[in-house]
Amino acid sequence: MQPAIIGRNKGIVKEGTFNFYDGKITAKMNKSDNQADVEKGPVAIDGNVDGLPVAYSTLIEDSDNEDEKLQIATLTIISEIEAKIENTTYTKLEDAIKAVRNLFWN
């Protein structure tokens, strides 16, 4: 998966707009690091993602082995989309209907 971003303790620190369209973001932490930091664990994406491809969400996975802890962020497809209104996807049709009602009748 390209691009691959690997950071120590944090993969990405959001300081502006962050759009995540492809790749893999990994934060690594050695278990020999400061114990308080190790207890918190690594953070692949520090902040919110502003933009994603249509029908995708961010998948965050934690991994723990003898020497290090990892947190990995990738994209995953949303498999149960019922509706899309403008840039928002809905997995429940009733949520989409409520959104349309609020958009046009409020």
Chunked into runs of 10 residues, the chain (106 residues) has average pLDDT values of 88 93 93 70 92 89 89 88 78 85 77
Give me the amino acid identity at 82.
E
Triad 48, 86, 18: Cα angle to 5°: 20
Burial (0-12, 13-18, 19+ Cβ within 10 Å), 33: middle
Task: Report yes or no on 98 lying in a domain.
Answer: no
Q: Is residue 96 part of a domain?
A: no
Domain membership of residue 94 (yes or no) is no
Tokens 């707009």 correspond to 17
Number of folded domains that form the chain: 1
CA 9 to chain centre: 16
Asked whether residue 91 is assigned to any structural domain, the reply reads: no
pLDDT computed for residue 102 by the predictor: 81
Single pTM value for the model: 0.70
Residue 38 has a pLDDT of 62
Q: Is position 95 within any domain?
A: no
Domain that holds residue 57: 4-79
Residue 61 lies in a domain: yes
pLDDT value at residue 35: 67
Is 68 among the domain residues? Answer: yes
